[in-house]
Structure 1
Amino acid sequence: MQFEQRMYARLKFLGLMAELYETAFEDFFHRLMCARYPDFLDVRTHGRLGDQGADGLALHERKLYACYAPQTVDVVQVKQKLMSDLAKALEKRSGQFDTFVFVHNDRRGMHPRIATLLSETDAGHPDVKFEQMGTRRLWYECMRLDQEAAEEVLGCQIPIQPVIHGVGMDDLAPLLKHLRDQRVAADPLMPLPDVEPGKLDFNRLHGDARQDLVRGMRHSHLVDAFYEGGIRAVEHDEVAQGFRLYYEQVRQEWTEPEDVLWQLEMYVLGNGSQQPRVQRAAWVILAHFFERCDIFDAPPPGWAGSGVEVSA
């Protein structure tokens, strides 16, 4: 799909996440996972058997999925639901799974007390791995679908013509604001860091794109500071996964590195015009994930680059 189509799909996805609760959310989850994984079993409730603690099973990865999507999050009820599903799964489905995945519809991320609950549950059950699957991870699964499958899952046609303008990524909006504000207070005379040119050379990044990345690296430590600690660290990993997935898709469609960076810039900002300060903040984000190797490839051991110099 083109950038505009992906953004249209994301708007539809976010609209669904705002409307789907209880069984409707579970139905959406089943459609998505069945479209993504041939080995996924969409478990339904049956009479006195119930669902035996599982809303879905992944046969090959040996994962059991338990959905909880209330209209209003109540921590006490979430705890009761989680412990009930886990107890049923351990009793009724012993030997059928190694990982318990808690699937939820909280668009703001995981509640701190629920995150603590999952951590404590993980520590108390060393033989079982625990994961959570919220809005970000559900969207990343949608990103991997081809257009026909995405239309089936989202329940709408995705237009071919560009129709979306200036759609920023919601996950990155707080980070963009943080960088926009923090860069103002940064020392404008701070020297550019010493950048190892190998990866830049290996990925054929030269000219303006190269200089913009290197300048972004001057402030990339602000991204680490923003995501430092606790739940933010988990969010950092999820956002990085989104970058990796999108990069893999983009580079299949675009061969020139500068074009790939252009697509990644739109991933952060949307395809509408932005203020210069916001654009500079976006390049800090790109530089950060470039340094982490979430986007573009690291050169193999022993590879010798051209050593092209970049002026400040």
Structure 2
Amino acid sequence: MDSVTRAWYGLMIENSLLKKREQEYEDFFCEIMEALYSDNFQLVKAAGSDGDGKADGYLIPEKCVFQSYAPSSGFQKTKLLNKIEGDFNGAKNKWGEEMQKWVFVHSESEGLPKYALDLITKLQSENPAIEIKSWRPTFIKRKALLLPLEYLIDLFGTAPTAADVTSLTHEPIKTLLKAMEANANKSEENILPVSFNKLKFNSLSGDVEVLLSAGRRKENLVADLLNRWPDPTYGEELAQSFHLKYEKLKSLNLNPDDMFMDLKSYAGGSIDNVSSQVSSLAILSYFFERCDIYENAPDGWAV
């Protein structure tokens, strides 16, 4: 995979991990592990009164038990502590010597709170023969990016490559711009130009930086098309449309990368069409530079 393809799939995986909860999160994690380790990774399902052995998956060579936790309502201190301690002790009793490692797989992208880490440290000190770890979404993402390309294609469709960016022409961009024309909302509000350093100011990931950098290589095609558009006000209307879409996404308290994925979809990039995907990157890059998507860095701000 080149850098563009890797960044594309990285954002797709991250977006899935952000949006999946409860059983969907567990299923996605187990699907990745099965693809990586084949028969060496076994799903563990409840079996009547025997339950599931306090495990969602088991990696045979490492004798590692995995337990997933991704509550829809977010982490709550008492529930989280009870979950960690109850599942660990339950798995320890059920698996005995067949559990040499225990991994708590969770959905908090910023990591576990200190009180949960303190509990894990306590359990580790009380059980030195068992290696205890926690995996946050970033670790799962790294695992998923180790998957063969054909598997990533099955999950998320074909991703653009650096060569696709280089070969992009006017026509696919024109098709997307025409499709978006109906979504542009007219407004007299002035959209100030922005700086590319908003990437860092808005805590956008390296994957987004790679994709926007790729898009910048062809944003001149977007500028050329809009300059020659039959309606001379369309570019301003489209800029305002992106601005309003961003404000709506911001009100939902999404993280910056998640908003980027929704903006990419808004730009019309079809998952089944590589030219459409690359065109959406060029359009996003163009308006990222020129209209109020994400927050402007204050005067004098520097990385």
Q: TM-score range by the shorter chain?
A: 0.5 to 0.7
Gaps of 5+ in 2: 166-195, 208-284, 290-301
Matched, 1:3 2:3: yes
Corresponding position of 1:47: 48
**Conservation of the 8 A alpha-carbon contact between 2:58 and 2:64:** yes
What per-residue deviation string (whole Å, max 9, x for no partner) do you get for residues 72-128 of structure 1? 111211111111111221111112110111100101222121111111111111221
Q: How far 1:171 moved relative to its partner?
A: 6.2
Corresponding position of 1:147: 149
Which of residues 91, 94, 97 is equivalent to 1:92? 94
Q: How far 1:48 moved relative to its partner?
A: 2.2
**Conservation of the 8 A alpha-carbon contact between 2:46 and 2:52:** yes
**Conservation of the 8 A alpha-carbon contact between 1:17 and 1:107:** no
Corresponding position of 1:27: 27
Which of residues 90, 102, 105 is equivalent to 2:104? 102
Percent same amino acid among aligned pairs?
21
Q: Distance in 2 between matches of 1:114 and 1:98?
A: 21
Name the CA shift for 1:51/1:171 in 2 (closer, same or farther; >3 Å).
farther
**Conservation of the 8 A alpha-carbon contact between 2:101 and 2:131:** yes
**Conservation of the 8 A alpha-carbon contact between 1:41 and 1:56:** yes
Name the CA shift for 1:112/1:42 in 2 (closer, same or farther; >3 Å).
same
**Conservation of the 8 A alpha-carbon contact between 2:109 and 2:137:** yes
For residue 156 of structure 2, give the secondary structure of its aligned residue in structure 1: coil
Stretch deviating more after TM superposition (123-132 or 25-34): 123-132
Stretch deviating more after TM superposition (41-50 or 7-16): 41-50
What per-residue deviation string (whole Å, max 9, x for no partner) do you get for residues 45-80 of structure 1? 222222111111111011111111112111211111
Matched, 1:114 2:116: yes
What per-residue deviation string (whole Å, max 9, x for no partner) do you get for residues 177-214 of structure 1? xxxxxxxxxxxxxxxxxxxxxxxxxxxxxxxxxxxxxx
Corresponding position of 2:80: 78
Name the CA shift for 1:70/1:28 in 2 (closer, same or farther; >3 Å).
same
Q: Distance in 1 between matches of 2:158 and 2:120?
A: 37
Name the larger-Rg structure.
2
The amino acid that maps onto 1:14 is: E
Name the CA shift for 1:150/1:172 in 2 (closer, same or farther; >3 Å).
closer
Name the CA shift for 1:172/1:79 in 2 (closer, same or farther; >3 Å).
farther
Corresponding position of 1:13: 13
Gaps of 5+ in 1: 174-269, 274-279, 282-312
**Conservation of the 8 A alpha-carbon contact between 2:2 and 2:161:** no
**Conservation of the 8 A alpha-carbon contact between 2:36 and 2:147:** yes
Give the TM-score, by structure 1 length: 0.51
Q: Distance in 2 between matches of 1:161 and 1:171?
A: 19
**Conservation of the 8 A alpha-carbon contact between 1:79 and 1:117:** yes
Name the CA shift for 1:171/1:47 in 2 (closer, same or farther; >3 Å).
farther
Give the TM-score, by structure 2 length: 0.53
Q: How far 1:159 moved relative to its partner?
A: 2.1
The amino acid that maps onto 1:88 is: G
Query: RMSD between aligned alpha carbons?
Result: 2.9
Q: How far 1:170 moved relative to its partner?
A: 5.2
For residue 92 of structure 1, give the secondary structure of its aligned residue in structure 2: helix
The amino acid that maps onto 1:101 is: V
What per-residue deviation string (whole Å, max 9, x for no partner) do you get for residues 6-48 of structure 1? 1111111121112111110000011000011120111122222
Q: Distance in 2 between matches of 1:47 and 1:158?
A: 41
Q: Distance in 2 between matches of 1:172 and 1:156?
A: 20
Name the CA shift for 1:151/1:172 in 2 (closer, same or farther; >3 Å).
closer
Counting matched residue pairs gives 176
**Conservation of the 8 A alpha-carbon contact between 2:67 and 2:105:** yes
Q: Distance in 2 between matches of 1:131 and 1:158?
A: 34
**Conservation of the 8 A alpha-carbon contact between 1:22 and 1:70:** yes
For residue 140 of structure 1, give the secondary structure of its aligned residue in structure 2: helix
For residue 93 of structure 1, give the secondary structure of its aligned residue in structure 2: helix
